[in-house]
C-alpha cells in the first residue's frame, strides 16, 4: 500500500509560514526560516504564497545525482533521506532537484525526511494547505492540477 | 538572550549614524517586548513634554513581539511607537504581516529612528548589516511600486518592506506605515512621522535564528494552544468571512455606525459584508500574518465594471464601516477601490472615512460649500466623490484635500460654525473607530481612556456582548455573574476594562494578535506567561505578566500626563455624549457625561490614580517599580500622593 505523502493545496495556503518555523523547531530545536526544510515563496502585492517542499519523487533526481549514495529511501516512510555521515557536501543534489527543495547547512545537504512519518509542518497548517495523506487515484489528479497551478504561480514570483 | 534577537538598532538620520546596543534582560522582565519596551524607550528618549511630533526630536520606534518569529499562534505582530502627530500625545500603532519576524531574524528586536534626514532615504537591514540608501527616486511612489522597486534594488525577493506612500510624504496626519503592501500601522498617523524624517522605506532580510530556552516544552505548549485557538468559534468565523463577517450581526443590533454616527442601522448592509465578498466572488484568497492560525486578512479583486482591475488586501470591518457605512457608499466595488487607494497611498482607512463623513455632513448642512470642495458634489452616497476625496487628501490637493489632511479636529476648528459637534473625535483629537459606544458601555469607557484616542485597539472588550460561550465565561470570571455579559450595563465595566487593558498590553508586547486573546480567547494570560517563560527563560506566571501589562499601560498613561493631559482628555466625541442612538434596542442611549464620570471614577480608583486629575499616585508608580517615572512627574508637578 502507498505510504502517506505531503499533499499541497495552493488555494488554501495563507502564507503564514508557521510550517517553516515549526519545521526548524522540530528538526533543529530553534526557530528560523532559513533552517526550514520547506519554503513558502511569496508574491506579496497579490498575496500569493507557494509552498515548496520535497515531493519524495519516485524517480528521484537527487538520489541519482548523489555520487556517494548518501541519499536513500527510508523503507518505512518512503522518504528520501540524507545520510550526513556519507554526504560529502558536493551539492549535486541541490542542483538536481527541480523544486529547489534541498538546502545546505554547515556544508552538507539538508532535506525533508517527513519527520519519520509524522511531519510537523502539516500539524501546524491550520487552513489545511499541507496535508499528510495517502494518495488516492483521485488525489493524484488533484495533485497534478495543483502542481500545474504552482508552476504557473511560481513564474509570477521568479 | 533566548526568544529575543537581543539587540536594539539605533539610526540617527540627522547625523547618519548607526549603532546597536544589547537588549537588557531587565527591560524584558519589566516590559516584556514590542509595545511594552517601545513605551519604556519612548518615555526615556523623548524625555520631556512639548516636542513637535513632526520635528527632529520625535523618535519613531519599531518593536517586534517577544514571541514573534516563533510557532506560537498568531504571534507575528509589530508595534510602532512615537509621539502622535494628530493628538500630540502618546501613540502606538500595531501592524500584522511579516516584517517584525524578519527584523528579528535579521538580528534586531527594536529599531529606533532619531532626527531628520536631509533628503529621502531608505534603510536596508540584512543580517546585522545596515545601510542608509538614497530614496530620492522612490519619493512620490505609491506603496506597491515602492515595495517592488526596493526589493529589486536590494536584490532580495524574500525581503520584507515597511514603507510610506505619498500621504506620509505629504505629512497627512493620519497616514500609515504599510508592510508587505497591505498590513498597516496606521491609527494616529505614524506614517507622517516617518515622512517627516524623510524615511521612505525600511527593507529587512534575516536568515538568523531565534533560540528558545526550552524548545521542546515551548513547542508542545505552542502547538497545543494553536489547536485550541483554531477550535474557538470566533476564529472560525474570522477565517471564513474575515472581520467584515460581523457587519450583518452588528447591523441587526442597530449598532452599525453610519452617516457620521447619526444612525446605527442600514436597510441593506449586504454589500458591506464579508459574506458578500465570498458569495460574489471578490475574495481571491485568505491571507495569514506570520504564524497565524486564523488568517482573517483578505485579498480581493474587482474583475468587471467601472473599477475592473482593482486589487487589494482588505476590506476589513473598520474599512467597510468607515469608507462604506459612514459615507453611505453601499457599493462593494467602490469601497474596494477606495480601500486600494488608501493602502497604496498610505492612509488610515478609519480616519479617512471619518474625515470624509464629517465633510459630507458639513456639505449637507451647508457649512462646506462647493467652493470649499473645489467643485466636488460631496453628498452622502456619492462613490465618485469618495474616491476622488481620498486622492485629494493623500496629495493635499486643493482646498478640500488640504483641509481634510489635517484630521477632523483641525478641520472642524478651521471651518467653525459648530462643526465640532459632528466631528467624531474626542478631546485627544483622534477620529473614533467604528464602534457604537452609546450602546456598548465597556467600549465607551475603554475608548475614553485610550491614551492615543478613542478606538478599540487599546482595550478590546468584545466579551461584554456575550456573543460566544467563551466570552460569557470570561465575563463571569471577571464579574462573578454571567448576567453582566450584556453591553448596556454600566456596572462592572471598569473591572472589565481593567482586565482587558492588562491582557491587551501583554498580548501586544508578546506579538500576539488581539483576536487571539480578546475576540477569541484561547490565548490567555496564563498560557502567554508560560509561553514567555519557556521561550525566554525569564521566570513568569499569570499574575506577574498581568502586572507587567499594568506597568506598560501606566507608562503610556504617564507619557500623556507629562504632556499635560488630565481627566478632561478622557471623554468621547460630542455627538455620542449628547445625541442619543437613533433606533433599535439601544434607541435613546448615549454616553452622557454623568454615565461616563461614574465609570471613570471607579476606573481610576481601580488603577490607583487620583480621581480628580486621573494622574497616577506616587504609591501606584512605586508599586509598579516605576520610580524613575515618578521622579520625573514629581519634577513637573504632576505626582499626587495618597498621603
CATH of the domain at A96: 3.30.70.20
Q: How far apart are CA B328 and CA B323, in angstroms?
A: 8
Q: B121 to each of B118, B135, B192, B197, B613, how far by Cα in Å? A: 9, 4, 15, 9, 43
Q: How far is A130 from chain B (nearest CA, A)?
A: 13
Asked if B531 and B416 sit in the same domain, the reply is no
Q: Which three cell numbers stand for residue B422?
A: 459632528
Burial-class residue B548 by CB neighbours within 10 Å (0-12, 13-18, 19+).
buried
Q: What is the DSSP string of B540-581?
A: --HHHHHHHHHHHHHHHHHHHHHTT--GGGS---HHHHHS--
**What is the model's pLDDT at position B616?**
98
Helix H or strand E segment including B7: strand B7-12
| Smallest CA–CA distance from B208 into chain A, residue | A32
Considering only CB atoms, B209 lies closest to which of A16, A32, A124, namely: A32
pLDDT one-digit tens code per residue, B243-275: 999 999 999 999 999 999 999 999 999 999 999
pLDDT-derived band at A157 (thresholds 50, 70, 90) equals: low
Q: Determine, for residues B215 and A29 on separate chains, whether the beta-carbon distance falls below 8 Å.
A: yes
Q: How far is B537 from chain A (nearest CA, A)?
A: 14
Rounded mean pLDDT, B318-346 = 98
Q: How far apart are CA B591 and CA B578, in angstroms?
A: 7
How many other C-beta atoms can be found within 10 angstroms of the C-beta atom of residue A72?
15
Q: What is the 3-state secondary structure (H, E, C) of A62-83?
A: HHHHCCCCCEEECCCCCCEEEC
Asked if A43 and A65 sit in the same domain, the reply is no
Q: How far apart are CA B237 and CA B227, in angstroms?
A: 16
**What is the model's pLDDT at position A137?**
65
Q: Determine, for residues A126 and B294 on separate chains, whether the beta-carbon distance falls below 8 Å.
A: yes
pLDDT-derived band at A154 (thresholds 50, 70, 90) equals: confident
Q: How far apart are CA B109 and CA B435, in angstroms?
A: 33
pLDDT-derived band at B465 (thresholds 50, 70, 90) equals: very high
Q: How far is B462 from chain A (nearest CA, A)?
A: 24
Residue at B640 is within a domain: no
Asked if B184 and B264 sit in the same domain, the reply is no
Mean pLDDT of chain B: 97
Rounded mean pLDDT, B441-458 = 97
Asked if B416 and B459 sit in the same domain, the reply is no
Residue A149 has pLDDT above 80, yes or no: no
Asked if B17 and B108 sit in the same domain, the reply is yes
Asked if A41 and A61 sit in the same domain, the reply is no
- According to DSSP, the residues that pair with A104 across neighbouring strands are A109
Beta strands in B197-274 (DSSP E): 199-205
User: Would you say B291 and B71 are in contact if contact means Cβ atoms under 8 Å apart?
Assistant: yes
| Smallest CA–CA distance from A42 into chain B, residue | B158
Listed in sequence order, the DSSP H helices in B6-142 are: 25-31, 34-46, 99-105
Residue B339 has pLDDT above 80, yes or no: yes
Residue at B214 is within a domain: no
| Smallest CA–CA distance from A126 into chain B, residue | B293
Residue B606 has pLDDT above 70, yes or no: yes
Q: Which of B382, B398, B422 is the last residue of a domain?
A: B422
**What is the model's pLDDT at position B520?**
87
Q: How far apart are CA B348 and CA B336, in angstroms?
A: 14
Q: Determine, for residues A11 and B285 on separate chains, whether the beta-carbon distance falls below 8 Å.
A: yes
- According to DSSP, the residues that pair with B11 across neighbouring strands are B18, B113
DSSP single-letter state for residue B263? B
Question: Quick one: which of B345, B309, B315 has its CA closest to B327?
Answer: B315
Asked if B387 and B453 sit in the same domain, the reply is no
User: Would you say B326 and B359 are in contact if contact means Cβ atoms under 8 Å apart?
Assistant: no
Asked if A89 and A104 sit in the same domain, the reply is yes
Q: Which domain holds residue A30?
A: 1-53+117-158
Q: Determine, for residues B69 and A123 on separate chains, whether the beta-carbon distance falls below 8 Å.
A: no
Considering only CB atoms, A34 lies closest to which of B73, B207, B230, namely: B207
Asked if A61 and A43 sit in the same domain, the reply is no
Asked if B525 and B577 sit in the same domain, the reply is yes
Asked if B172 and B268 sit in the same domain, the reply is no
Rounded mean pLDDT, B30-46 = 98
Q: Determine, for residues B289 and A25 on separate chains, whether the beta-carbon distance falls below 8 Å.
A: no
**What is the model's pLDDT at position B232?**
87
Q: How far apart are CA B33 and CA B545, in angstroms?
A: 12
Rounded mean pLDDT, B221-229 = 97
Cell 520631556 belongs to which residue?
A: B48
Q: How far apart are CA B12 and CA B116, in angstroms?
A: 8
Q: How far apart are CA B471 and CA B466, in angstroms?
A: 5
Q: How far is B369 from chain A (nearest CA, A)?
A: 39
**What is the model's pLDDT at position A152?**
76
Rounded mean pLDDT, B420-428 = 97
A18 — contact with chain B (CB < 8 Å)?
Answer: yes
Cell 452617516 belongs to which residue?
A: B259
Total domains in chain A come to: 2
Question: Quick one: which of B477, B483, B441, B439 has its CA closest to B459?
Answer: B441
Residue at B624 is within a domain: yes
Q: How far apart are CA B509 and CA B538, in angstroms?
A: 15
How many other C-beta atoms can be found within 10 angstroms of the C-beta atom of residue B404?
27
Residue A156 has pLDDT above 80, yes or no: no
Asked if A75 and A148 sit in the same domain, the reply is no
Q: How far is B180 from chain A (nearest CA, A)?
A: 6
Q: How far is A156 from chain B (nearest CA, A)?
A: 12
Contacts of B362 (CB under 8 A, 6+ apart): B368, B415, B419, B422
Cell 464620570 belongs to which residue?
A: B597
Asked if B452 and B597 sit in the same domain, the reply is yes
Interface A:B, Cβ pairs < 8 A = 108
CB crowding B311-349: b at 16 or more within 10 Å, else e? bbbbbbbbbbbbbbbbbbbbbbbbbbbbbbbbbbbbbbb
pLDDT-derived band at B568 (thresholds 50, 70, 90) equals: very high
Residues in chain A: 158
Q: Which three cell numbers stand for residue B296?
A: 482573517
pLDDT one-digit tens code per residue, B294-327: 999 999 999 999 999 999 999 999 999 999 999 9
Asked if A19 and A40 sit in the same domain, the reply is yes
Q: Which three cell numbers stand for residue B472?
A: 460569557
Asked if B50 and B177 sit in the same domain, the reply is yes
Residue at B287 is within a domain: yes
**What is the model's pLDDT at position A158?**
60
User: Would you say B94 and B77 are in contact if contact means Cβ atoms under 8 Å apart?
Assistant: yes
Chain centre to alpha carbon of residue B388: 25
**What is the model's pLDDT at position B556?**
98
Asked if B406 and B443 sit in the same domain, the reply is no
| Smallest CA–CA distance from B217 into chain A, residue | A29
Asked if B461 and B566 sit in the same domain, the reply is yes
Burial-class residue B249 by CB neighbours within 10 Å (0-12, 13-18, 19+).
middle
Asked if A8 and A41 sit in the same domain, the reply is yes
CATH of the domain at B554: 1.10.599.10
Asked if B416 and B441 sit in the same domain, the reply is no
CATH of the domain at B156: 3.60.9.10
Total domains in chain B come to: 3
Asked if A106 and A129 sit in the same domain, the reply is no
Q: Determine, for residues A44 and B147 on separate chains, whether the beta-carbon distance falls below 8 Å.
A: yes
Q: Which three cell numbers stand for residue A157?
A: 514570483
Residue A1 has pLDDT above 90, yes or no: no
Q: Determine, for residues A30 and B291 on separate chains, whether the beta-carbon distance falls below 8 Å.
A: no
**What is the model's pLDDT at position B285?**
94
Rounded mean pLDDT, B59-63 = 98
pLDDT one-digit tens code per residue, B487-529: 999 999 999 999 999 999 999 999 999 999 998 899 999 999 9
A32 — contact with chain B (CB < 8 Å)?
Answer: yes
Which of B70, B127, B145, B285 should one mutate to test binding to chain A, selecting the residue with the greatest count of A CBs within 10 A? B285
DSSP single-letter state for residue B88? S
Q: Which three cell numbers stand for residue B541?
A: 506566571
User: Would you say B453 and B424 are in contact if contact means Cβ atoms under 8 Å apart?
Assistant: no
Chain centre to alpha carbon of residue B143: 19
Helix, strand, coil percent values for chain A (each to nearest 5): 35, 20, 45
Residue at B431 is within a domain: no
pLDDT one-digit tens code per residue, A33-87: 999 999 999 999 999 999 999 999 989 999 999 999 999 999 999 999 999 999 9
DSSP single-letter state for residue B432? P
| Smallest CA–CA distance from B344 into chain A, residue | A45
Asked if A84 and A95 sit in the same domain, the reply is yes
Q: How far is A59 from chain B (nearest CA, A)?
A: 31
What 3-state class would DSSP assign to B620? helix
How many other C-beta atoms can be found within 10 angstroms of the C-beta atom of residue B399?
13
pLDDT-derived band at A138 (thresholds 50, 70, 90) equals: low
Q: Determine, for residues A46 and B299 on separate chains, whether the beta-carbon distance falls below 8 Å.
A: yes
Residue A155 has pLDDT above 90, yes or no: no
User: Would you say B510 and B33 are in contact if contact means Cβ atoms under 8 Å apart?
Assistant: yes
Q: What is the dihedral of CA B31, B34, B37, B39, to 10 degrees?
A: -110
User: Would you say A21 and A39 are in contact if contact means Cβ atoms under 8 Å apart?
Assistant: no
Considering only CB atoms, B215 lies closest to which of A30, A33, A47, namely: A30
Residue B571: CA atoms inside 13 Å, Cβ hemisphere, count?
20
Q: Which domain holds residue B599?
A: 437-635
What 3-state class would DSSP assign to B12? strand
Pairing of strands B297-302, B310-313: antiparallel
Burial-class residue A67 by CB neighbours within 10 Å (0-12, 13-18, 19+).
exposed
Considering only CB atoms, B226 lies closest to which of A29, A41, A126, namely: A126
| Smallest CA–CA distance from B287 into chain A, residue | A14
Considering only CB atoms, B210 lies closest to which of A31, A41, A124, namely: A31
Burial-class residue B283 by CB neighbours within 10 Å (0-12, 13-18, 19+).
middle
Rounded mean pLDDT, B99-115 = 98
Which of A31, A42, A118 should one mutate to test binding to chain B, selecting the residue with the greatest count of B CBs within 10 A? A31
Amino acid at each position: 500500500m502507498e505510504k502517506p505523502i505531503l499533499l499541497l493545496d495552493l488555494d488554501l495556503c495563507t502564507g503564514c509560514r508557521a510550517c517553516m518555523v515549526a519545521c526548524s523547531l522540530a528538526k533543529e530545536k530553534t526557530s528560523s526560516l532559513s533552517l526550514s526544510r520547506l519554503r513558502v515563496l511569496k508574491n506579496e502585492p497579490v498575496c500569493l504564497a507557494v509552498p515548496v517542499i520535497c515531493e519524495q519523487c519516485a524517480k528521484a533526481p537527487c538520489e541519482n545525482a548523489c555520487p556517494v549514495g548518501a541519499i536513500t529511501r527510508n523503507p518505512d516512510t518512503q522518504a528520501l533521506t540524507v545520510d550526513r555521515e556519507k554526504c560529502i557536501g558536493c551539492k549535486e543534489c541541490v542542483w538536481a532537484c527541480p523544486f529547489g527543495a534541498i538546502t545546505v547547512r554547515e556544508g552538507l545537504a539538508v532535506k525533508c525526511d517527513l519527520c519519520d512519518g509524522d511531519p510537523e509542518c502539516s500539524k501546524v497548517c491550520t487552513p489545511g494547505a499541507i496535508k499528510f495523506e495517502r494518495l488516492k487515484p483521485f488525489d493524484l489528479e488533484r495533485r497534478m492540477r495543483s502542481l500545474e497551478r504552482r508552476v504557473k504561480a511560481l513564474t509570477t514570483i521568479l | 538572550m533566548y526568544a529575543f534577537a537581543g539587540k536594539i538598532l539605533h539610526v540617527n538620520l540627522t547625523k547618519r549614524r548607526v549603532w546597536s546596543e544589547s537588549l537588557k534582560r531587565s527591560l524584558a522582565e519589566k516590559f516584556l517586548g514590542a509595545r511594552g519596551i517601545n513605551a519604556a524607550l519612548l518615555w526615556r528618549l523623548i524625555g520631556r513634554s512639548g516636542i513637535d511630533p513632526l520635528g527632529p526630536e520625535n523618535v519613531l520606534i519599531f518593536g517586534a513581539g517577544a514571541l514573534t518569529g516563533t510557532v506560537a499562534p498568531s504571534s507575528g505582530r509589530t508595534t510602532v511607537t512615537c509621539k502622535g502627530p494628530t493628538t500630540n500625545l502618546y501613540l502606538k500603532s500595531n501592524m500584522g504581516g511579516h516584517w517584525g519576524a524578519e527584523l528579528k531574524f535579521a538580528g534586531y528586536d527594536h529599531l529606533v529612528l532619531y532626527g531628520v534626514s536631509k533628503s529621502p532615504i531608505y534603510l536596508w537591514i540584512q543580517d546585522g548589516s545596515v545601510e542608509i540608501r538614497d530614496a530620492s527616486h522612490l519619493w512620490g511612489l505609491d506603496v506597491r511600486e515602492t515595495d517592488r522597486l526596493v526589493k529589486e534594488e536590494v536584490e532580495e525577493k524574500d525581503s520584507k518592506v515597511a514603507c510610506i506612500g505619498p500621504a506620509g510624504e505629504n505629512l497627512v496626519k493620519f497616514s500609515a506605515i504599510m508592510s508587505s503592501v497591505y498590513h498597516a500601522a496606521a491609527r494616529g498617523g505614524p506614517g507622517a512621522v516617518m515622512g517627516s524624517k524623510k524615511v521612505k522605506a525600511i527593507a529587512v532580510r534575516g536568515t538568523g535564528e531565534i533560540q528558545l530556552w526550552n524548545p521542546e516544552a515551548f513547542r508542545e505548549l505552542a502547538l497545543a494552544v494553536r489547536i485550541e485557538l483554531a477550535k474557538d468559534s470566533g476564529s472560525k468565523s474570522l477565517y471564513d468571512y474575515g472581520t467584515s463577517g460581523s457587519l450583518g450581526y452588528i447591523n441587526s443590533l442597530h449598532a452599525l455606525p453610519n452617516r457620521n454616527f447619526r444612525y446605527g442601522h442600514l436597510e441593506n448592509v449586504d454589500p458591506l459584508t464579508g459574506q458578500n465578498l465570498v458569495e460574489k466572488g471578490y475574495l481571491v484568497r485568505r491571507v495569514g500574518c506570520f504564524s497565524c492560525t486564523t488568517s482573517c486578512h483578505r485579498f480581493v479583486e474587482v474583475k468587471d465594471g467601472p473599477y475592473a482591475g482593482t486589487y487589494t488586501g482588505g476590506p476589513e470591518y473598520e474599512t467597510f464601516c468607515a469608507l462604506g457605512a459612514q459615507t453611505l457608499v453601499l457599493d462593494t466595488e467602490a469601497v474596494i477601490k477606495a480601500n486600494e487607494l488608501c493602502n497604496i497611498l498610505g492612509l488610515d482607512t478609519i480616519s479617512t472615512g471619518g474625515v470624509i463623513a464629517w465633510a459630507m455632513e458639513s456639505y449637507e448642512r451647508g457649512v462646506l460649500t462647493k467652493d470649499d470642495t473645489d467643485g466636488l458634489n460631496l453628498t452622502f452616497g456619492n462613490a465618485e466623490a469618495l474616491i476622488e476625496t481620498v486622492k485629494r487628501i493623500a496629495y493635499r490637493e486643493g482646498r478640500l484635500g488640504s483641509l481634510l489632511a489635517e484630521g477632523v479636529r483641525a478641520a472642524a476648528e478651521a471651518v467653525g460654525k459648530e462643526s465640532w459637534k459632528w466631528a467624531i473625535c474626542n478631546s485627544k483629537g483622534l477620529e473614533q473607530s467604528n464602534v457604537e459606544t452609546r450602546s456598548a458601555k465597556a467600549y465607551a469607557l475603554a475608548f475614553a481612556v485610550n491614551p492615543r484616542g478613542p478606538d478599540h485597539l487599546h482595550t478590546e472588550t468584545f466579551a461584554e456582548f456575550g456573543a460566544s460561550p467563551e466570552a460569557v465565561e470570561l465575563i463571569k470570571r471577571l464579574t462573578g455573574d454571567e448576567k453582566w455579559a450584556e453591553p448596556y450595563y454600566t456596572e462592572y465595566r471598569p473591572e472589565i476594562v481593567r482586565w482587558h487593558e492588562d491582557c491587551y498590553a501583554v498580548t501586544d508586547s508578546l506579538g500576539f494578535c488581539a483576536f487571539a486573546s480578546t475576540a477569541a480567547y484561547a490565548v490567555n494570560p496564563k498560557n502567554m506567561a508560560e509561553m514567555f517563560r519557556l521561550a525566554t527563560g525569564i521566570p513568569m506566571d499569570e499574575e506577574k505578566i498581568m502586572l507587567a501589562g499594568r506597568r506598560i499601560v501606566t507608562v503610556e498613561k504617564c507619557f500623556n500626563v507629562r504632556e499635560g493631559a488630565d481627566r478632561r482628555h478622557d471623554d468621547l466625541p460630542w455627538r455620542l455624549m449628547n445625541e442619543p442612538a437613533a433606533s433599535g434596542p439601544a434607541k435613546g442611549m448615549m454616553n452622557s457625561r454623568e454615565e461616563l464620570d461614574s465609570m471613570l471614577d471607579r476606573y481610576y480608583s481601580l488603577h490607583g490614580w487620583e480621581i480628580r486629575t486621573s494622574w497616577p499616585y506616587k504609591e501606584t508608580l512605586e508599586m509598579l517599580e516605576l520610580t524613575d517615572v515618578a521622579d520625573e512627574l514629581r519634577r513637573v508637578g504632576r505626582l499626587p500622593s495618597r498621603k
